[in-house]
Amino acid sequence: MTSTEASAPARVADPGEGITAEELQLAARNHGMPAEALRYDLTPVGLHYLLIHYDIPAIAPQEWRLRLGGAVDRPLELTLDELRARPAASRTVTLECAGNGRARLEPRPISQPWLVDAVGTAEWTGTPLAPLLAEAGLSPDAVEVAFTGADHGIERGIEQDYARALPLAAALAEDVILAYEMNGVPLPPQHGYPLRLVVPGWYGMAQVKWLTGIEVLDRPFEGFQNAVAYRLKVEADDVGEPVTRILPRALMIPPGYPDFMSRTRFAKPGEHLLTGRAWSGWGPVDRVEVSTDGGLTWADADLGPLGDAYAWRSWRHRWTAVPGRYELLARATDRVGHVQPVDQPWNRQGMANNMTQRVAVVVG
Ligand SMILES: Nc1nc2c(c(=O)[nH]1)N[C@H]1C(S)=C(S)[C@@H](COP(=O)(O)O)O[C@H]1N2
Ligand SMILES: [Mo]
């Protein structure tokens, strides 16, 4: 376990400061999903977004073990074959990085500079976590469960293995799985081979990859990724609320075709079918609205069928385009009543920012 004292605060860009070479270095390793891949129900593995804080660790499958211990009666140690022999479950889940949209914030928090593309949907197959915890025998004092990956690095001066804890109730939820397959094939190295945690509805940071350890805790976890990072802070010394479930977001497949450098879209006058996906970690998306006039007026889009509880939902909207310059927006509302904001919800790590996407289009 690593101490979180003395970590440097997250930096915020100076007014007018462009994207730095350090941010570019992260952006090239950790790619987003191209918006046109919103067309697939399941994101093809190579198009799914990727976020890796340190390096992809080298894992020898024969030597790899999952160790489950801490505040339990019977610590367990399992091989990959033993995990695969347990009851299996598959879930289609939309994952989104908590930092999605960060690079559009003003001022810009310096970190992985996502635009709006840190998302993907996969079918994850693995074994449910709750029965394993029950087999180990939870102590009545258990309050959280910490998950540790095999990857190691330094973050704001703190050396650590990537580790994240969940409140006990969240870890015991029926839909949480230890996944060894993605879209029907063994996890690829970049997505956590041989095993990752999948917590449907939660932002990406909870979905611990390259899992090696599960520790049941009788006190709140103090690791960096819970105590310092992934908190909604405005001032550097705020304690901040923890980041948990995904706030609703709608994204659009930009219509027409792009200019290579500016990515501005060009489209022919006439009928266009605007399509995209929307999701929320708080419950189903019940409404998607589209604006073709920069957010002045909104119209309801048609929604596709509901799939798995935390999988994105398709939407479509007919647009009759006459020559001119447009800004297209799409925003989602979930069943709990969260409405996607048009203005930025700013915080200093740029987390859980679900500001509405804007797509510039020139018609004619
Ligand atoms: N061990 C480990 N797990 C991790 C990470 C990591 O760096 N190390 N990144 C997290 C973050 S911040 C995100 S957004 C998701 C990304 O999952 P993906 O790369 O499979 O899309 O993995 C999470 N799990
Ligand atoms: Mo993330």
Q: Say if residue 53's pLDDT is above 80.
A: yes
* HEC-encoded secondary structure of 55-116: CCCCCCCCCCCEEEEECECCCEEECHHHHHCCCCEEEEEEEECCCCCHHHCCCCECCCCCCC
Pick from 30, 31, 43, 51 the residue to mutate for probing ligand 1's pocket: most ligand atoms within 8 Å of its CB: 51
Q: Are 87 and 128 in contact (CB under 8 A)?
A: yes
Ligand (nearest to CA of 199): 1
CATH topology match: 21-229 vs 249-363 = no
At residue 8 the predicted structure's pLDDT band, cuts being 50, 70 and 90, is confident
pLDDT digits (tens, 9 = 90+) for 90-100: 999 999 999 99
Average the pLDDT over 190-212 and give the result: 98
pLDDT at 2: 47
Average the pLDDT over 39-64 and give the result: 98
Residue bearing the CA closest to ligand 1, atom 13:
204
Residue 197 Cα to ligand 1 middle (Å): 10
pLDDT at 37: 98
pLDDT at 364: 93
3.30.1300.10, 3.90.420.10, 1.20.1070.10, 3.30.590.20: which CATH number matches 21-229? Answer: 3.90.420.10
Average the pLDDT over 23-51 and give the result: 98
pLDDT at 5: 59
Average the pLDDT over 103-119 and give the result: 97
pLDDT digits (tens, 9 = 90+) for 268-302: 999 999 999 999 999 999 999 999 999 999 999 99
Domain layout of the chain by residue ranges: 21-229, 249-363
At residue 10 the predicted structure's pLDDT band, cuts being 50, 70 and 90, is confident
pLDDT digits (tens, 9 = 90+) for 120-166: 999 999 999 999 999 999 999 999 999 999 999 999 999 999 999 99
pLDDT digits (tens, 9 = 90+) for 153-199: 999 999 999 999 999 999 999 999 999 999 999 999 999 999 999 99
State the burial class of residue 223 (Cβ atoms within 10 Å of its Cβ: 0-12, 13-18, 19+). buried
pLDDT digits (tens, 9 = 90+) for 251-274: 999 999 999 999 999 999 999 999
pLDDT digits (tens, 9 = 90+) for 305-357: 999 999 999 999 999 999 999 999 999 999 999 999 999 999 999 999 999 99
- Residue range 249-363 in CATH 2.102.10.10: no
Q: Which atom of ligand 1 is nearest to the CA of 97?
A: 14
Q: Say if residue 3's pLDDT is above 90.
A: no
DSSP labels, 114-125: --S--EEEEEEE
Ligand (nearest to CA of 54): 1
Ligand (nearest to CA of 162): 1
Q: Say if residue 1's pLDDT is above 90.
A: no
Residue bearing the CA closest to ligand 1, atom 12:
205
CA 277/CA 355 separation, integer angstroms: 15
Instruction: Give residues (CB < 6 A) around ligand 1.
Output: 48-53, 95, 97, 120, 149, 151, 162, 191, 204-205, 207-210
Six token digits for residue 352: 């859980």
Q: Which atom of ligand 1 is nearest to the CA of 96?
A: 14
Which residues 6+ apart lie within 8 Å of 244 measured at CB? 170, 202, 203, 206, 281
